[in-house]
Amino acid sequence: MYDVKKIREDFPILQREVYKKPLVYLDNAATTQKPLCVLDAMREEYLNVNANVHRGVHYLSQQATDLHEAARETVRAFINARKIEEVVFTRGTTEAINLVAQTFCESQMKAGDEVLVTDMEHHSNIVPWQLQAKKMGIVVKHLPIDDKGCLVSCHDVATYITERTKLISIAHVSNVLGTINPVKDIIKLAHERGIPVLVDGAQSAPHMKIDVQDLDCDFLAFSGHKMYGPTGIGVLYGKEEWLEKLPPYQGGGEMIDKVSWEKTTFERLPFKFEAGTPDYVATHGLATAIKYMESLGMENIEAHEQELTRYCMEQMRTIPNMRLFGEAPHKDAVVSFLVGDIHHLDMGTLLDRLGIAVRTGHHCAHPLMDRLGVTGTVRASFALYNTKEEIDALVAGIRRVSAMF
């Protein structure tokens, strides 16, 4: 049984008060809280194991290397990648997408070639492509969304693909709308036309089982801190054949085979993309977070969060003048809203005074805000430890704030 009360004991921060009110933490799409096992694992490594990885012949270095590489295997199994060579550690989703944008555009694209994203992307899946557009003359195109926050149908997606489309890069789940995009269908359609697909999994990896072989995606990016792991660590999954084709991203130690003044050769995968000392304590922390999620069961987490989302949407609809953004039939863990003409910042600030932590603003998605015709929204986002009582507190809080205006 999924015992949320017991689960909350693993997250001491959830017991604290703010402004003498119990904390209701609903900003999980920005970052999640960390369970004790993750903090303990990282403390233990710094206390007893710490040494730089891959280089040392001494005991501690080998032990730290073993933990670091075991973390890679944990990630591989978590997303069902074929090989550990396909798991590249990055600083997060943002760095993973920048890595692909830079190396893919440089090696696989010419001026006038197109990359296709969507109207609901986070800036980290827009700006890296725009930087390449400026540098290389590639073109960034975007798929539109309907008023419920869904992508146009797959049939219509096909109409946006041209002979010049060289890559499709899409969010699995929107961080503003919560829409779960039909990435598997889009990947199939893209592959029929020989186009690889990058999936931004920042908002899906924490909430659902991802199987990269089943999806058949060419790249997947996600961040540790959004899935109960530490900050500063993330993952780029890439199919081996693609990673082999791409040039290195950054130069330095760890990523080379042999360096000379005449010619430098590079390490094998995945090290070719991991220049410099990796955050080996964070990789161990991430692996511990993944094991924690797996011990609860990804299906159970998904079912719990789906129920929270359904319940929250239902309750929100009872509030007068409520405007909900994102009403896709397949939606996950994110509820964005405005009430009447109350500014999102005012709503967020007053909810905060009631102990309720939500996010306000553009959520790093300016083009989506433009599409929705707003400057920002209030966003409540859920994690495995949230409860229906917390949603009741949110709804009561919104009613109270609304009454003040």
Residue 93 CB, nearest approach to ligand PLP (Å): 4
Q: How many CB atoms lie within 10 A of CB 181?
A: 24
Q: Which residues bind ligand PLP (CB under 6 A)?
A: 29, 92-94, 122, 124-125, 171, 175, 200, 202-203, 223
Nearer to ligand PLP, 92 or 285 (CB): 92
Nearer to ligand PLP, 173 or 356 (CB): 173
Residue 29 CB, nearest approach to ligand PLP (Å): 6
Nearer to ligand PLP, 171 or 324 (CB): 171
Nearer to ligand PLP, 81 or 364 (CB): 364
The active-site residue, picked from 105, 150, 312, 364, is 364
Pairing type for strands 197-200 and 234-238 reads: unpaired
Helix/strand/coil percentages in the chain, nearest 5? 45, 20, 35
Residue 154 CB, nearest approach to ligand PLP (Å): 21
Nearer to ligand PLP, 171 or 350 (CB): 171
What b/e string do you get for 331-366 counting C-beta neighbours within 10 Å, with b at 16 or more?
bbbbbbbbbeebebeebbebbbebbbbbbbebbbbe
Residue 286 CB, nearest approach to ligand PLP (Å): 12
Rounded-to-integer distance, Cα 372 and Cα 170, Å: 19
Rounded-to-integer distance, Cα 328 and Cα 321, Å: 20
Q: How many CB atoms lie within 10 A of CB 380?
A: 29
Q: Side by side, which strands form the sheet with 87-90?
A: 87-90, 234-238, 219-223, 197-200, 165-171, 114-118, 139-143
Residue 104 CB, nearest approach to ligand PLP (Å): 17
Smallest CA-to-CA distance from 150 within 119, 188, 196 is with 119
Mark whether 364 is an active-site residue. yes
Active-site residue list: 364
